[in-house]
């Protein structure tokens, strides 16, 4: 009998916990949000392999399609952030492509590329931080990968540009 009483008490306590959370924060998890509170973490979607041209269709210009960005070849659905990544928005330059380099240089003219040659260890570490941001974000989720063309080692490393927005060149 005591085990049944403990189980019933625990159930009431658990229900009270979630109801209180929703009452005070309008969230079942006391406002805590990351990938563990996103249902897609537990029921993942089928991963798609994109070509560069296929990924370009998801740049926010068609309101009937989701908005995708790619970082290190991993493609993420950022449609819930359409205010940031949609057409005419500040981060739209990242939509529909892998522009990994521009995440640390802030150069939206010549650095919208996956070419990481010439970046410092600190810049590469910062890029890993961006990748973790998207991998662990509550509202964004990975939908696949993009097959990126190889970087020709004989081509010059992208030069610093002067149009960076508050970032290092």
- Residue-wise pLDDT tens digits, 4-31: 667 677 777 767 766 666 666 665 565 5
Instruction: For residues 115 and 46, state if they share a domain.
Output: yes
Asked if residue 37 and residue 26 are part of one domain, the reply reads: no
Residues of the chain with pLDDT below 70 are 1-5, 7, 14, 17-42, 44, 163-169
Which residues contact residue 43 at a Cβ distance below 8 angstroms, ignoring those fewer than 6 apart?
none
Co-location of 16 and 59 in the same domain: no
Do 72 and 138 lie in one domain? The reply is: yes
Cβ–Cβ under 8 Å, residues 116 and 125: no
pTM of the model: 0.74
* Phi and psi, residue 136, nearest 5°: -105, 5
Indicate the number of domains in the chain.
2
Say which CATH number the domain at 47 has: 3.10.120.10
Residue-wise pLDDT for 85-102, tens only, equals: 999 999 999 999 999 999
Give me the phi and psi of 59, to 5 degrees please.
-100, 10
One domain for residues 86 and 156? yes
Domain span at 141: 33-169
Q: Supply the pLDDT for residue 169.
A: 42
């Amino acid at each position: 009998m005591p085990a049944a009483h403990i189980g019933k008490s625990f159930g009431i306590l658990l229900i009270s916990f979630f109801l209180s959370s929703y009452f005070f924060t309008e969230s079942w998890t006391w406002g805590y949000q990351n990938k563990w509170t996103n249902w897609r973490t537990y029921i993942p979607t089928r991963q798609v392999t994109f070509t560069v041209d296929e990924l370009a269709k998801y740049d926010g210009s068609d309101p009937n399609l989701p908005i995708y960005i790619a970082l290190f070849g991993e493609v993420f659905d950022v449609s819930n952030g359409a205010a940031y990544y949609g057409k005419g928005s500040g981060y739209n330059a990242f939509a529909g492509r892998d522009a990994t380099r521009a995440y640390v240089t802030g150069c939206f003219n010549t650095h919208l590329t996956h070419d990481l040659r010439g970046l410092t260890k600190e810049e590469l570490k910062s890029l890993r931080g961006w990748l973790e941001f998207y991998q662990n974000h509550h509202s964004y989720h990975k939908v696949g990968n993009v097959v990126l063309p190889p970087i020709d080692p004989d081509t010059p490393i992208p030069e610093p540009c002067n149009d960076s927005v508050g970032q290092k060149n």
